Amino acid sequence: NAGVTQTPKFQVLKTGQSMTLQCAQDMNHEYMSWYRQDPGMGLRLIHYSVGAGITDQGEVPNGYNVSRSTTEDFPLRLLSAAPSQTSVYFCASSYDSQNYGYTFGSGTRLTVV
Amino acid sequence: DQQVKQNSPSLSVQEGRISILNCDYTNSMFDYFLWYKKYPAEGPTFLISISSIKDKNEDGRFTVFLNKSAKHLSLHIVPSQPGDSAVYFCAAKSGGSNYKLTFGKGTLLTVNP
């Protein structure tokens, strides 16, 4: 059981480049989300999905797009990277709203120069 | 407006003593609270949770207390061990189908041998 898998683990982008952060889970969880962690800011919700074909914005959605075509995958797209998007990105999943714990991936460390 | 606050960025305790990590919240709609532990270069891992219908939940060395009138919760670790050294995040969510977790900024716990 792999849990939540994020790729890549590290990435350096130039300002204006685009890329997709991958997230996959093998637990058949309906709920998936993306968070970013910045020093002194805790974890902030970017986008989330409550099932295939359904996505919604979180606290800091600007500059990011998501889609959920399958239950397993929830990619996060940066359309035009900016230095302000330098952060550690975590994907998480859960099987229902009363779940007693959300499973997080190990993170993607992104640097935009 | 920070809805979940962890006012102590860091805490240092001796091995074998009690560690108490505090968390305050402002949103009265929150009815479920979780604690996560995070080691460097890893994703957060679920530790313990509590529903607003309870005032205490125990799991081994970890106990979470909830004071709804004060909008305050705390995590007690007894006895503390060096392996408990990590960043601890408090998180909260409202009920029903709301999957969104709101996190505090975290507290770095250091347990000294």
Q: pLDDT tens digit string along B20-76?
A: 999 999 999 998 999 999 999 899 999 999 999 999 999 999 999 999 999 999 999
- In chain A, residues with a C-beta closer than 8 Å to the C-beta of B89 are 42-43
For chain A (113 residues), the mean pLDDT of every run of 10, in chain order, is: 90 97 95 92 92 93 96 96 97 75 93 97
What is the reported pLDDT for A40? 82
Closest Cβ opposite residue A58 in set B34, B36, B100: B100
φ and ψ of B83, to 5 deg: -70, -10
- Bridging pattern class, strands B56-59 and A87-94: unpaired
- 3-class state of residue A92 by DSSP: strand
What is the reported pLDDT for B98? 63
- Bridging pattern class, strands A10-13 and A108-112: parallel
State mean pLDDT over B74-87: 98
Closest Cβ opposite residue A106 in set B43, B89, B96: B43
User: How far is CA B91 from its chain centroid?
Assistant: 7
What is the reported pLDDT for B74? 98
**Nearest chain B CA: its distance from A13 CA (Å):** 20
Go through chain B and tell me how many residues it has.
113
- The torsion defined by the Cα of B80, B85, B86 and B89, in degrees rounded to 10, comes to 20
pLDDT band for position B5 (cuts 50, 70, 90): very high
Q: What's the 3-state SS for A33-72?
A: EEEEEECCCEEEEEEEEEECCEEEECCCCCCEEECCCCCC
Spatial distance between the Cα atoms of A29 and A27, rounded to a whole number of angstroms = 5
Q: How many CA atoms lie within 13 A of B67 on its CB side?
A: 10
Residue B29: DSSP 8-state: T
What is the reported pLDDT for A39? 85
Spatial distance between the Cα atoms of B81 and B13, rounded to a whole number of angstroms = 9
Q: What letters, b where the CB count within 10 A reaches 16 and e where it falls short, cover A21-37?
A: bbbbbeeebbbbbbbbb
